[in-house]
Amino acid sequence: MSELFDAPSPARLRPALAGVPAYVAGRPAKPIPGLITYKVSSNENPYPPLPSVAAAIAEASGQVNRYPDMMNVALKAAIGESCGFAPASVTVGPGSTGVLAQLIGALCDSGDEVVFAWRSFEAYPILVRLAGATPVMVALNDAGEHDLDAMAAAVTDRTKLVILCTPNNPTGPIITDAAARAFLAKVPAEVVVIIDEAYVEFVRDSDAVASFALQRDYPNVVVTRTFSKAYGLAGLRVGYGLAHPTLAEASNKTSIPFSVNLVAQAAAIASLAARDEIDARVDAIVAERQRVVAGLAEQGWRLPATSANFVYFPLGPDESERFDVTCGDAGLVVRRYGGEGVRVTIGEEAANSRLLEITGRLRSALRT
């Protein structure tokens, strides 16, 4: 057996694979004796499923000998109704990462360009490279915001797609409605613009992009959202896109058949029916974010303005590692981006309080 695997494989892998960066996932918390540890590295929801959602999951689990509804009829109807879109404008996938992959698969051939901000969501360069397309990464400004003028200038006749991430992961700032509209006015109508709103439920800024109205005004806009973050279903993998019916259909076509599983469909539908309870939990997470942001400001940190369920510390090469290690030793598993900075999810109240203790100590050390 092992002898067979020791021989080089003669398989002719696509050259594009060589350029695909590895996805760096948030690490699990390592046990520390006498200390409760928290994983605040993947922007997950700290709450377990609602009782009504857990019941829907249990019920659906009794039917997993059957395939799910491949057309996702009930799920698309429920999403369409909650967002005010016709089911023909709704596309679903295994997470909004899945929807993103479907759209890239529908739009991009080898050599096509996809423009997005950097640093932003980890999956963008991976999915673009997997399609054989070329990522065009435009640096965020010093405030951790999209530089939309530079992004508009980066659009060429090879550009098939632009991805805007608001609030931006990992830095946190929103794109304003005015800025998004000014940007779209400059982008050719045949270039698709995805507005990735994975964290939209946590936004409380009234200047933020009103994506549904924008989609209606600009048929090249696709809005993507997810059940992974505010809805707390990250482990089930379900997300959606709202688009012109032609683009929604194209995304359905490039999806892997049955990729949104039966349990995920049921849980997402049950979550939409429990919107009030979900909203209350999101409000509690937002209140915790406000507590953390205020505490950090009081300690003297100057950070990008976050509208999501995380805060970002742009610490640079020396301090990022120290921050990461100090948090880890104190039982908080955070997400470090090499020598750029560290992202910390707003999690359980005790995790957030522990973050403030650690940042207080680190801040004092920075001053001395």
Ligand X SMILES: *Cc1c(COP(=O)(O)O)cnc(C)c1O
Binding interface with ligand X (CB under 6 A) = 43, 95-97, 121, 165, 169, 196, 198, 226, 228-229, 234, 239
The residues, any chain, with a CB within 8 Å of residue 3's CB and separated by 6 or more, are none
Nearer to ligand X, 306 or 358 (CB): 306
In this structure, are residues 243 and 215 in contact, taking their beta carbons and an 8 Å threshold?
yes
Q: Which two structure tokens, joined as six digits, stand for 248?
A: 């929604």
CB of 357 to ligand X, least distance (A): 26
Tell me how far the alpha carbon of residue 181 is from its chain's centroid.
Answer: 22
CB of 24 to ligand X, least distance (A): 13
CB of 226 to ligand X, least distance (A): 3
27 CB-contact burial (10 Å; exposed 0-12 / middle 13-18 / buried 19+): middle
Nearer to ligand X, 224 or 362 (CB): 224
Nearer to ligand X, 271 or 358 (CB): 271
In the complex, which residue's CB is closest to ligand X? 95
Q: Which two structure tokens, joined as six digits, stand for 338?
A: 């090499």
CA dist 109 and 265 (Å) reads 31
Nearer to ligand X, 239 or 331 (CB): 239
CA dist 255 and 262 (Å) reads 16
Nearer to ligand X, 229 or 336 (CB): 229
CB of 245 to ligand X, least distance (A): 22
CA dist 298 and 303 (Å) reads 12
Please, what is the angle between helix 73-83 and helix 262-273, to 10°?
30
Sign of CA pseudo-dihedral 147, 148, 152, 158: positive
In this structure, are residues 21 and 125 in contact, taking their beta carbons and an 8 Å threshold?
yes
Tell me how far the alpha carbon of residue 93 is from its chain's centroid.
Answer: 14
Please, what is the angle between helix 123-130 and helix 95-107, to 10°?
40
Tell me how far the alpha carbon of residue 265 is from its chain's centroid.
Answer: 19
Nearer to ligand X, 170 or 314 (CB): 170
CB of 170 to ligand X, least distance (A): 8
Nearer to ligand X, 269 or 358 (CB): 269
CB of 227 to ligand X, least distance (A): 7
In this structure, are residues 296 and 306 in contact, taking their beta carbons and an 8 Å threshold?
no
CB of 182 to ligand X, least distance (A): 22
CB of 250 to ligand X, least distance (A): 19
Nearer to ligand X, 165 or 303 (CB): 165
